[in-house]
Structure 1
C-alpha cells in the first residue's frame, strides 16, 4: 500500500514538474504552449530530437535543469514500479509458503485482531513458547504482524472459511480481539456453531456486552476498561495485594509464578491428598485452589484429595512449577 502511494505521489510530482517546465519555456523563450510542452517532453526523455525553437543562454541553462531533474524523477518512478513488482512477487511466494505453514499448524492459538492488545498478547504468548497465528484485515497491521515473524492471514475473521484456513479445528484456543463488540460477538458465534472443542476468549470494549459474549459461548471475557478501573481502585485500597499480583503475573519481577495443572486418570497425583502429593517438598509449590466441576475451592486443606478432572492452581518458583506441570502432561 505504501509502495503504491509512493508511485502515485511521484507520478503527480512528475506531472506538476512538466507543467512548471512548460510554463518556464513559455516565459523564458516566449514559446507557444504546445511547443513548450513538446520541448519539455523531449528534454526529460532525452530522445535527441531537434529543438522546437532557438534557445537563449537562459533557455539552455533552464533545459539543463529540466533534463537533470526530469531524469531523476523518471528513474525514481521506474525504481518504485520495479520495487513494487518485485515485492508483489515476493509476497506471492511468501503467501504460498504461509498457507503451507498454516496447514501444518496444530495446538496453536488463533488471535483475531492485531491491534495494541493483540500485539501484546501475541508477544507474551510467544515468550511462553506458544505458537500464535494472527488474522488481521487492516493492511498496515497485517504488515506489522508479518514483520514480527508471526504466521498471519489477511482476511475477515468473522468468516467461517477463513477460520478453516487458520486450522481452527486443530487449534487449542481462539482469542477474539476485533475492533468492535459486534464483530467479536459474530466471530465467537461462528466458532461456537462449528462445534469445536476449543477455548474461546473474547474482549468486550463495552462492559455491558460481557454477559452477551459469555451467553453465546465465550468461556473468558475481558473488559479492559472495567479491569483497569478495578485495578486503580485496588491500588488505592489494597496496594500490597496489587503488588503481589504483579509479581505473580510477571515472573521476571521475581522467580514466582502461578500455574494450573489438570489431573488425569493416569496422573501420579490422582487419588492423593494435598499432604501426600509432596508438591511442597518436591517443587516448593503451594496449592492455591482446586477447580472441580466448575467450582473453585480456595486454600484446600492438607487432607483434600485430588481426583481426575480437577484443575489444580499452584504458586511457587517458576522453573519448579513448570517442571511439575510438565510432568502431569506427560
Structure 2
C-alpha cells in the first residue's frame, strides 16, 4: 500500500519564508491601496488599482483625478510604506540568490530529474566513513547508484574525490526520501549509517517499499544482527569484524593482501572479482569453457563456477559444461565484463 502513496516534490522546492512573506506583504499593500482609493475617492476598482500601482512604483504618470485631502494623506502613507516594502523585498530576494537558496532549488530539480531516469540501481544510505568507500567502488565499477546523505558538505567532499554522481540531501529513514531515490526501480540498497537503530529503520522501510530488493546493512553491535535480519536485511557487514580479519591477513599473508590492494587501487585498469550469471548470457548455456573461450574473447580469467545447487567448482577444467543457473566467478575489468555480455557464442 505504501508504494502507491504519491510524493509531493513541491515541498522540497518551497522558497524561504522571508521571500514568501515579502510577496504576501506586496499583495496586501496593493489590495489595501485599491480598497483605500475606492472608499476615499469613490473610484472604480480598476482606477483604484491603477493609482495604487503607479504610486507604489513611483512612475509619476500623474493622478487620475484631483485627490481629496484624505486621498493625499493616504497617498503619502502608501508611498512611505511602498519604499520600506521595496527595500525589504529587494534585500530578501538578494539574500535568496546570494545565500544559494535559488541555486539549491535548481540543483535539486535537476538531480530529481536525473534520478527519475535510473532503474536497476543501488541506493546508498549514508556517505560517511563507510559510505564513501562504497560510493567510490560503485563509481569505479560503473554501477548505477544514488547516495542519500543529510550533509551537503559530506557529499561535496566525496564528489571531490571521485567526480559527479546522483544524490539526495535528505534523511534516509524517511519513506518519501527512499521513494525519491527510486526504490521501486532499484535492485539493491546499502544501509551504511553509523547507528544500528537507524539502519534497522531503513531496512524495515526499504523492505516494505520493495519486497524484491537486495539489502546490505552495516552493523556495529553483533547483538543487533538478529534485529536487522528480522527487519529484512539479506546480508550484514560488521566494520569491526572486517577490520580485524584484514589486520590478521596482513600479518599472515602480507604478499596476498598487497596484491589484492594493488589490484583494487589501479585506476586506469580497475581489476575486480566479478560474478557473471550464465542466464544473462544465454549463448553460454550448454557450452564448455573451452568452447566459450572467454579468456581469448574478453581477457577475463574464470576462477570458479557456482552451480545452481550452491556448490563451487574452483579452477574449473576446460571441459566444464555451463548450465542454466550457473554463476561464473571471474577476474576482469568493467569493460571486459561488458564485452562478455555483448559477445555472441556460436
TM range (shorter): 0.5 to 0.7
Structure-1 residue corresponding to 2:140: 127
- Between the aligned partners of 1:267 and 1:222, the Cα distance in structure 2 is 33
Instruction: Give ranges in structure 1 of 5+ residues lacking alignment.
Output: 1-77
- Are 1:98 and 2:108 an aligned pair? no
- Between the aligned partners of 1:250 and 1:146, the Cα distance in structure 2 is 18
Paired residues in the alignment total 251
- Between the aligned partners of 2:104 and 2:321, the Cα distance in structure 1 is 56
Q: Provide the aligned C-alpha RMSD in A.
A: 3.2
Structure-2 residue corresponding to 1:222: 237
Structure-2 residue corresponding to 1:264: 279
- Between the aligned partners of 1:265 and 1:254, the Cα distance in structure 2 is 24
Q: After superposition, where does 1:200-215 map in structure 2 within 5 Å?
A: 200-215=215-230
The question of whether the paired residues in 2 share the 8 Å contact of 1:112 and 1:157 is answered with yes
Distance 1:80 1:232, change over 3 A: farther
Structure-2 residue corresponding to 1:24: none
- Between the aligned partners of 2:184 and 2:192, the Cα distance in structure 1 is 19
The alignment's TM-score, normalised by the length of structure 1, stands at 0.65
Q: Give the counterpart of 1:249 among 261, 264, 272.
A: 264
Distance 1:207 1:242, change over 3 A: farther
Structure-1 residue corresponding to 2:128: 115
Q: Tell me the CA shift for residue 296 of structure 1.
A: 4.4
The question of whether the paired residues in 2 share the 8 Å contact of 1:111 and 1:176 is answered with yes
Bigger mean CA deviation after superposition, 277-286 or 222-231: 277-286
Provide the secondary structure at the position in 2 that maps to 1:156.
coil
Q: Give the counterpart of 2:212 among 159, 176, 197.
A: 197
Q: Tell me the CA shift for residue 230 of structure 1.
A: 0.5
Q: Kindly provide the CA deviation profile for residues 9-34 of structure 1, in whole angstroms up to 9, marking residues without a partner as x.
A: xxxxxxxxxxxxxxxxxxxxxxxxxx
- Are 1:292 and 2:307 an aligned pair? yes
Distance 1:127 1:321, change over 3 A: closer
- Are 1:303 and 2:319 an aligned pair? yes
Instruction: Give ranges in structure 2 of 5+ residues lacking alignment.
Output: 1-89
Distance 1:253 1:228, change over 3 A: farther
Provide the secondary structure at the position in 2 that maps to 1:157.
coil
Distance 1:232 1:131, change over 3 A: same
Structure-2 residue corresponding to 1:323: 339
The question of whether the paired residues in 2 share the 8 Å contact of 1:265 and 1:308 is answered with no
Structure-1 residue corresponding to 2:165: 150
- Between the aligned partners of 2:309 and 2:219, the Cα distance in structure 1 is 23
- Between the aligned partners of 1:283 and 1:101, the Cα distance in structure 2 is 32
- Between the aligned partners of 1:317 and 1:166, the Cα distance in structure 2 is 28
The alignment's TM-score, normalised by the length of structure 2, stands at 0.62
